[in-house]
C-alpha cells in the first residue's frame, strides 16, 4: 500500500512538473515572453519573405480624396480602385496573371466607372472591357459608340521580347527593392487575427520616410523614369507633409506578410490636401494558379477607342467644344473590323 501511495505521489509530481514546465515554456516563447521575436524584426522579415512568393491570390482596395486650394479646378477629386486576382511569376520569362480592375471616379460631380479583365499567358496579353460608364450626355454617346468593344475578349499585340518580358523583369526588380526596403518603423504587436484563413499577428507600424523615399526613387528607376536631382528634393520635401497610420499582418506559421492596411494623409501649406486609404491582402502562397486562354478572342485595334479619347477631350474642355472646335479629328470611316484570332478551347 505504501509503495502504491509513493508511486502515485511520484506520478503526481512528474505531472505537475510537466505542466509547470510547459506553462513556463509557453510564457517564455509567447508574444510577450522573453524569447518572442522583436516586432520590428518580425515585420521586416515578413515583408522580405513575402517578396519570394511566386504564386498567390491577392486583392488591393484603394480610395482617396484630393481637395484643391480654393478657386482651383477641379475642386474635389475622389476615386475608388479595386484590383483582385491571381498571379504566377515562377517563370521569369512567362508571367501568368488573371486580374480584374474596377475604377470609380468623381471629379466635381462628373462620374466615370470602368471595369476590365486582364490576362497574360503564354507570352500573350488579353483584355476584356466589361464596363465604361460616364455621367451626362457624353456618357450616353460613349456607351453607344463602344457597344462593339465591350464585353469581348481582345488580344493585344505585343512583341515576344517586349511588354510581357518587361513586366516580368520590372516585377522582379520591384520585389528585390521591396525586400531590402525599410518602409515601416516602430512596429508594436497588437492582436491575433485570421487573414483569409491564415492565423496572423497584427502589428501597428509607422512609416519610415527616409526608407520610403529610397523605395520611391527605386520605383522610378525600375519604371524607366529616372528622377532628376530637383525632383528628388521635391519628393523629400513632399514626404515631410505626409503622415501614415496603419498596420501589417504577419502569418504566425509562415512568418510572411499577409495584409497591409493604412491611411495616408497630406496637408501641405501650399497645394492640394489629400487623404488615401489602402488595404492589400495576399493568400494561397505557393499554390498552383489555373489561368486559361479566353474563348472567342479577337485582335484588338486601337482605333476602336477613338470615341473614348474624343469624349475625354470633350470632358476636359468642359463639354463646350465640339470635336471640330477642339481639333479632335473623328474618323471618316468606321474602325476596321476586328479579325478573329484562332479559337482556343477553354
88 domain-assigned:
yes
Instruction: Report the pLDDT value the prediction gives residue 310, as an integer from 0 to 100.
Output: 59
Residues 6+ apart with CB under 8 A from 88: 54, 55, 95, 96, 97, 288, 289, 291
Instruction: Report the pLDDT value the prediction gives residue 144, as an integer from 0 to 100.
Output: 80
Instruction: Report the pLDDT value the prediction gives residue 102, as an integer from 0 to 100.
Output: 98
Q: Report the DSSP pairing between strands 184-195 and 198-207.
A: antiparallel
In terms of pLDDT, which residue wins out, 285 or 16?
Answer: 285
Instruction: Report the pLDDT value the prediction gives residue 270, as an integer from 0 to 100.
Output: 84
Instruction: Report the pLDDT value the prediction gives residue 214, as an integer from 0 to 100.
Output: 85
Question: With 50 as the cut, is the pLDDT of residue 26 above it?
Answer: no
Across 7-11, 47-51, 170-174, 296-300, least confident range: 7-11
15 domain-assigned:
no
Question: With 70 as the cut, is the pLDDT of residue 193 above it?
Answer: yes
298 domain-assigned:
no
The grid cell for 248 is 501589417
Quick one: which of 171, 189, 170 has its CA closest to 46?
Answer: 189
Question: With 90 as the cut, is the pLDDT of residue 142 above it?
Answer: no
Instruction: Report the pLDDT value the prediction gives residue 175, as an integer from 0 to 100.
Output: 79
Taking residues 91-110, report their average pLDDT: 92
- Whether a cis peptide bond, with omega within 30° of 0, leads into 74 is yes
DSSP class of residue 338? P
315 domain-assigned:
no
Give the span between the Cα atoms of 250 and 257, in whole angstroms: 5
Strands (DSSP E) contained in the chain are 55-67, 76-88, 96-107, 110-121, 124-134, 153-156, 184-195, 198-207, 242-251, 257-266, 273-283, 298-299
107 domain-assigned:
yes
Percent of the chain with pLDDT over 70: 74
Instruction: Report the pLDDT value the prediction gives residue 216, as an integer from 0 to 100.
Output: 83
Contact in structure between 159 and 135 (CB atoms under 8 Å):
no
The grid cell for 122 is 503564354
In terms of pLDDT, which residue wins out, 216 or 2?
Answer: 216
Give the span between the Cα atoms of 76 and 135, in whole angstroms: 16
Give the span between the Cα atoms of 97 and 293, in whole angstroms: 11
pLDDT tens, position by position, 148-164 = 889 999 998 765 545 66
Alpha helices in 200-268 (DSSP H): 209-222, 229-239
Task: Give me the DSSP letters along 264-302.
Answer: EEE--SSS-EEEEEEEEEEESTT------PPSS-EE--G
In terms of pLDDT, which residue wins out, 222 or 36?
Answer: 222
Q: Report the DSSP pairing between strands 273-283 and 298-299.
A: unpaired
Mean model confidence pLDDT for the chain: 79
Question: With 50 as the cut, is the pLDDT of residue 336 above it?
Answer: no
87 domain-assigned:
yes
Q: Which residues pair with 84 in a beta bridge?
A: 59, 100
Question: With 60 as the cut, is the pLDDT of residue 17 above it?
Answer: no
pLDDT tens, position by position, 302-321 = 776 666 665 555 555 544 43
Percent of the chain with pLDDT over 90: 47
The label of the residue with cell 486583392 reads 59
Question: With 90 as the cut, is the pLDDT of residue 294 above it?
Answer: yes
249 CB-contact burial (10 Å; exposed 0-12 / middle 13-18 / buried 19+): buried
239 domain-assigned:
yes
171 domain-assigned:
yes
38, 209, 269 from 244: Cα distances, Å: 22, 10, 18
The grid cell for 320 is 463646350
Structural domains of the chain, count = 1
**Domain encompassing residue 271:** 40-283
Question: With 60 as the cut, is the pLDDT of residue 6 above it?
Answer: no
pLDDT tens, position by position, 210-236 = 888 888 888 888 777 778 888 888 888
pLDDT band at residue 24 under the 50/70/90 scheme = very low
Give the span between the Cα atoms of 333 and 306, in whole angstroms: 12
pLDDT band at residue 123 under the 50/70/90 scheme = confident
Domain CATH for 73: 2.50.20
Amino acid at each position: 500500500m505504501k509503495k502504491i501511495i509513493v508511486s502515485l505521489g511520484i506520478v503526481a509530481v512528474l505531472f505537475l512538473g510537466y505542466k509547470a514546465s510547459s506553462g513556463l515554456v509557453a510564457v517564455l516563447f509567447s508574444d510577450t515572453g522573453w524569447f518572442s521575436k522583436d516586432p520590428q524584426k518580425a515585420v521586416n522579415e515578413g515583408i522580405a519573405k513575402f517578396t519570394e512568393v511566386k504564386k498567390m491570390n491577392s486583392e488591393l482596395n484603394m480610395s482617396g480624396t484630393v481637395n484643391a486650394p480654393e478657386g482651383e479646378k477641379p475642386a474635389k477629386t475622389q476615386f475608388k480602385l479595386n484590383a483582385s486576382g491571381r498571379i504566377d511569376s515562377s517563370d521569369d520569362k512567362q508571367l501568368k496573371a488573371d486580374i480584374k480592375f474596377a475604377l470609380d471616379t468623381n471629379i466635381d460631380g462628373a462620374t466615370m466607372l470602368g471595369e476590365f479583365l486582364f490576362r497574360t499567358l503564354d507570352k500573350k496579353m488579353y483584355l476584356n472591357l466589361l464596363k465604361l460608364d460616364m455621367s451626362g450626355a457624353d456618357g450616353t454617346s460613349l456607351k453607344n459608340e463602344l457597344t462593339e468593344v465591350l464585353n469581348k475578349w481582345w488580344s493585344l499585340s505585343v512583341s515576344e521580347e517586349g511588354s510581357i518580358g518587361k513586366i516580368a523583369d520590372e516585377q522582379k526588380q520591384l520585389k528585390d527593392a521591396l525586400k531590402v526596403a525599410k518602409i515601416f518603423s516602430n512596429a508594436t504587436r497588437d492582436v491575433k487575427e485570421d487573414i483569409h484563413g491564415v492565423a496572423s499577428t497584427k502589428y501597428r507600424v509607422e512609416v519610415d520616410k527616409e526608407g520610403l523615399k529610397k523605395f520611391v526613387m527605386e520605383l522610378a528607376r525600375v519604371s524607366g523614369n529616372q528622377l532628376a536631382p530637383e525632383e528628388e528634393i521635391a519628393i523629400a520635401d513632399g514626404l515631410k507633409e505626409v503622415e501614415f497610420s496603419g498596420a501589417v499582418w504577419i502569418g504566425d506559421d509562415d512568418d510572411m506578410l499577409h495584409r497591409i492596411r493604412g491611411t495616408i494623409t497630406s496637408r501641405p501649406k501650399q497645394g492640394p490636401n489629400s487623404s488615401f486609404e489602402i488595404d492589400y491582402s495576399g493568400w494561397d502562397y505557393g499554390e498552383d494558379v489555373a489561368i486559361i486562354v479566353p474563348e472567342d478572342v479577337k485582335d484588338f485595334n486601337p482605333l476602336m477607342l477613338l470615341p473614348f479619347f474624343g469624349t475625354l477631350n470633350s470632358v476636359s474642355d468642359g463639354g463646350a467644344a465640339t470635336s471640330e472646335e477642339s481639333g479632335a479629328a473623328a474618323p471618316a470611316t468606321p474602325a476596321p473590323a476586328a479579325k478573329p484570332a484562332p479559337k482556343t478551347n477553354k
